[in-house]
Structure 1
Amino acid sequence: MNLKRHRKLGLLLTGAVVCSLSMAACSSSTNGGRSGGGEVTQDVKDLVAEYQEAPTEITQTEPLTAAPEKKSVAFIVCADPTCTVLADALEEAVTSFGWDFTAINAPATDFGSAVQQAIDADVDYIAGTGSDVATFQNAFDAAADAGLPYYSCYSSDVPEGEENNLFANCYDLTAVDEYSRVLTSWIIEDSGADASIGVVNIPEFPTLSNAVEDVENTLDEFCDTCASQPVDISLDVLGSGGTTNAIISFLQSNPDVNYLYLAFGNFEPGLGQALKSAGLEDVKVVGVQPQQAQIESLIKGETDAWIATPQENAMWTLADQMARHATGDWDKAQERTAAVPPIYIVDTKEEAEAIADLKDGWPGPDGFKDQYKALWGLS
């Protein structure tokens, strides 16, 4: 994996590869890394400014043409604790229009078995998060054969409706592309166009690893004096709790890096203290998908900026797409618009304190539930 210096013509400077923590985090060095800063363009400033305020509206604007008839929904709860939060949010959404809801826990290594349980339960809709269809293809195909539409979030699959039996992906690579562009632009402006970024990701998860390419593309577009490189965290290292040590080792091997970009908020716990202990407190930390722990870290001065992404709103988006299928209002173009939830940048102590009491992070625009209910004819 080569450190990339971002030229306007996309030229790459490569250097000697140095790997630390075998199979955990790899990096490479180049002759010079950062080049002492450059120009922060007006385009960068405008893009960052656009996302400095919390959004007030959901992305969906079209009302249903009728009230949806009663349906039943099964949600596959992944093994990560955050999925329980998602299940609760989806249950609240679908039961608001009188539907039945069932949560089915999925084993960490067999998501498909839980999907099969949902098929056997003879529900009308199945939803799940964090798993690409390819990881449970047989069960997904069985759902299609049974005529059960599938709804996803936090995966890389693109919904095509009847063509592939996927009717939603409420946080997909389209969303990752946009969020990465915004956060990378923040880094460019904050650094005075003198950033060397380590992008912490898990290669096995496209919604995390895609940030590596997105950061590169944004630097190619906006900052020819900046650099980036991936910090690949293996599933073994993640599962053993070794992520922080892998990041510290990476930084020690790459002293030119002055920003860490965390593609997932859960990479952060304990990182701030570890950086301080290692004498690396000058490295700035930014990331996506913060929850309460990450917001608290910003208040303490251990991290510097987060893209607030609304988990609850994402689940209400799934419910909205189900309702549109039930009423015959489902439309691919509308689904694609809704796939990019509203976001904003949290980069001050005051902004963090305003949402610090929300244990699951920023839920979405103020009154977003009422906005959905209005579209559903419930208010």
Structure 2
Amino acid sequence: MSPARPVIRRRARTWVAAGSIALLAGSLAACGGDSEKTGSVGGSTSPADDKLATAMKLLDSYPVPTEKLGGVDSVAGKTIFYIPITKQAPQFTTTEKTVTAAAEAVGMRVQVCDGKGTPTDIGGCIGQATDAKAAAIVADAIPYGLAGNGLEAAQKAGIPVVISNQVPDPAHPASKTLTWVPVPGGEQQVRLFDWIVSDSKGKANILVNQSSDGPSPASYVADGKAALSKSCPDCKLTVNKVTSSNFALIPSSTSAALLKNPAINYVDSQFEQYLQPTQGGVQQASRTDIKVVTGSISLGGMKAVKSGSLAAATAQAAAFQGWVNTDAALRLILGKPVPEYSIPTRLFTKDNIGDVDLTEEAELSGEWFGPETFTDDFKKLWGVA
């Protein structure tokens, strides 16, 4: 299906100077849990507090690559297949729309196929792209091992593949037909835990609903746990594994974990697609005292932070990533080197959400993270401005 073209208006704004920030997200997840003591701060303040202010600020500018790309006129009329692991994740809707806007800037089309969180559907989408002789495939949050045969077949057919939102797989390094656009998901988890340490004054007992699809989500939580063990030796962390392929189990597994450990006072829904069933589990356990946080939020999650039903959240610059994914695809199509990319994220709480324009237009423009000029910057790189 072809998504509707986004209308992105630009408005003049005064941008707050800020340091660089990078946090973020990944893919999907089963049930079960393991609990262990990790690490706190010895008083009412924490070293994490010094990082929070930076993580909450706007960027001075987006990290747009500098390597110009010629010859894009040759791709006009061709098609990029955008395949998110599941469209249940709201962030992928934003990326889908901006991949489409970026592709249209060079005269290309975008075909979207929902992976639905299952190997069968993901494989079917990749097969469809191969049969259609797509110019490129952008696989969002899809672990290579989950669709290895299809990805290999596509590349053998001369179709380059961009894998976004995943930790690069060392068994499948970047090549002339494959590139990775990783995101610092571990930093997202670290920042959420930093906020929890500060808010709890070093006395947090955390339940994290961690995605179990592929290696990336577990890697992100491991990074967060390592940082937590240093900043908060008195904090505790329980991991409950969840999956987008069976949302029906998430409320009951969350409730069971909370009933098993009544000392839990914070719940982290790793990605926003798990937020609603996670909050359902908190309600089933009748725990009105728990603060809930999440990562990879979109407009709905931002509004939840504004209303107070969500205590803190990180959001990925999904609009910017749409243009990055298209840039990577164009470079592979044209046989050019692919630069290293950095995808910004930002921490949102009641302290900074009031300054955010909570509209779809603002989300698509990228203004939640920094200046809206990055789209023009990419067009200049491609010679179509």
1:132 maps to 2:140: no
Shift of the 362–276 alpha-carbon distance from structure 1 to 2, 3 Å rule, reads farther
How far residue 208 of structure 1 moved from its aligned partner, in angstroms, is 2.7
Partner of residue 14, structure 1 = none
The corresponding residue for 2:191 is 182
Distance 1:221 1:28, change over 3 A: closer
1:88-111 Cα deviation digits (max 9, x unpaired): 321111111222333345464331
Aligned-residue CA RMSD (Å): 3.0
Give the unaligned 5+ runs of structure 2: 1-29
Note the 1:34-113 alignment, pairs <5 A: 38-39=42-43, 43-71=47-75, 72=78, 73-81=80-88, 82=90, 83-106=92-115, 108=118, 109-113=120-124
Distance (whole Å) between structure 2 residues aligned to residue 326 and residue 274 of structure 1: 46
2:255 pairs, out of 244, 248, 253, with: 248
Matching of residue 156 in structure 1 with residue 159 in structure 2: no
C-alpha contact (below 8 Å) 2:82/2:113 kept by paired residues: yes
Looking at structure 2, the residues matched to 41 and 248 of structure 1 have their Cα atoms a distance apart, in angstroms, of: 31
More deviation, 194-203/365-374 = 365-374
CA–CA separation in structure 2 for the residues paired with 1:181 and 1:79: 25
- Residue 211 of structure 1 aligns with an amino acid whose one-letter code is Y
Number of the residue aligned with 2:348: 346
Tell me the SS of whatever aligns to 2:147. Answer: helix
CA shift in 2, pair 1:345/1:106, >3 Å: closer
Asked if 1:168 is matched to 2:174, the reply is: no
Kept after mapping to 1: 8 A contact 2:64/2:377: no
Instruction: Check conservation: 2:250, 2:277, Cα contact below 8 A.
Output: no
Which digits, 9 at most, give the CA deviation of each residue in 1:126-154, with x for residues without a partner? 11212211111111111221222101122
Measured in 2, the distance between the counterparts of 1:362 and 1:226 equals 37
Cα distance in 2, alignment partners of residues 277 and 90 from structure 1: 39
Give me the identity figure in percent: 20
Pairing partner for 1:210 from 214, 219, 223? 219
- Cα gap change, 1:353/1:237 in structure 2, threshold over 3 Å: closer, same or farther? farther
The one-letter amino acid paired with 1:229 is: T
Label 1:276 to 1:106 Cα distance change in 2 as closer, same or farther (>3 A): closer
SS of 1:70's equivalent? Answer: helix
Q: Which shifted more, 349-358 or 255-264?
A: 349-358
Q: 1:275 to 1:124 in 2, by over 3 A?
A: closer
Decide whether the 8 Å contact of 1:311 with 1:363 is kept in 2: no
Deviates more, 1:191-200 or 1:229-238: 229-238
Q: Could you tell me the TM-score, scaled by structure 1's length?
A: 0.79
Q: 2:127 aligns with which of 116, 134, 159?
A: 116
Q: Are the aligned partners of 2:56 and 2:346 in contact in 1 as well (CA < 8 Å)? A: yes
Residues 83, 125 of structure 2: 8 Å contact kept: yes
**Distance (Å, rounded) in 2 between the aligned partners of 1:272 and 1:115:** 34
Per the TM alignment, residue 323 of structure 1 is displaced from its structure 2 partner at its CA by 2.8
Q: Distance in 1 between matches of 2:273 and 2:298?
A: 8
- Normalising by structure 2, we get a TM-score of 0.78
Aligned length: 343
Q: CA deviation at 1:43?
A: 3.9
Of structures 1 and 2, the one scoring higher in RCO (CA 8 A, sep 6+) is 2
1:15 maps to what in 2? none
**Corresponding residue number in structure 2 for 1:8:** none
Q: Which amino acid aligns with 1:366?
A: P
1:242-265 per-residue CA deviation (whole Å, 9 max, x = no partner) reads 323321221121112121122111
Say if 1:93 and 1:315, in contact at 8 Å, map to a contact too: yes
Q: Distance in 2 between matches of 1:349 and 1:276?
A: 26
**Alpha-carbon offset, residue 352 of structure 1:** 5.4
